[in-house]
Amino acid sequence: MRRKRTICFCLATSCLILGSAFYVLFRPTSLLMFHWADMMGMNASIATMRIWVDGFDKYLSDWIVYSLPFALWVSSYLFFIKGIWWNSTSLVRHVWFWCIPVIAIVAELAQNISIMPGHFDKVDLITIILGTIFGFVAIDFNQPNKGESK
């Protein structure tokens, strides 16, 4: 059981790092997060990393750069929640598990009808749903075996 729980945390960390890497390495530096990085003195490090991958973005689809990172973060969240609440059947665990995917999907849909600021993107919605399915299916696959101790 410990091994499977560790896999959950490793998947969570991998999704978080990969999604963050796409943001830092390939998203426009006009984003607010880059202003925060500047205030923390991180711009030189970020600039160096961006030089290493300069030109690589032309090989990446727009959905990988602009939609996949958030879907990876949603998956990461699901893996972390599963790892933290391992084997729990509590209602609270289910609320925590589903709150971020539901909020992400509703927020994207709310942009479509101008309830929430932002630009609705079908690809964003699809990748969020697929990221949720990935997190759910991978977690379900990673369930403890019957008879396995907690």
The tens digit of pLDDT for each residue in 65-98 reads 999 999 999 999 999 999 999 888 899 999 999 9
Per the domain annotation, does 8 fall within a domain?
Answer: yes
Per the domain annotation, does 132 fall within a domain?
Answer: yes
> Alpha-carbon distance 90 to 75, whole Å?
20
pLDDT at 142: 53
Per the domain annotation, does 95 fall within a domain?
Answer: yes
Per the domain annotation, does 149 fall within a domain?
Answer: no
Per the domain annotation, does 81 fall within a domain?
Answer: yes
Residue 15: which domain range? Answer: 2-141
Per the domain annotation, does 146 fall within a domain?
Answer: no
Q: DSSP label at 149?
A: -
Tens of pLDDT, residue by residue over 88-129, are 889 999 999 999 999 999 999 999 999 999 889 999 999 999
Per the domain annotation, does 24 fall within a domain?
Answer: yes
Q: Within the chain, how many helices (H) and strands (E) appear? A: 7, 0
Sign of the alpha-carbon torsion through 14, 16, 19, 24: negative
Domain tally, the chain:
1
Nearest to 29 by CA among 55, 15, 50: 50
pLDDT band for position 10 (cuts 50, 70, 90): very high
pLDDT band for position 150 (cuts 50, 70, 90): very low
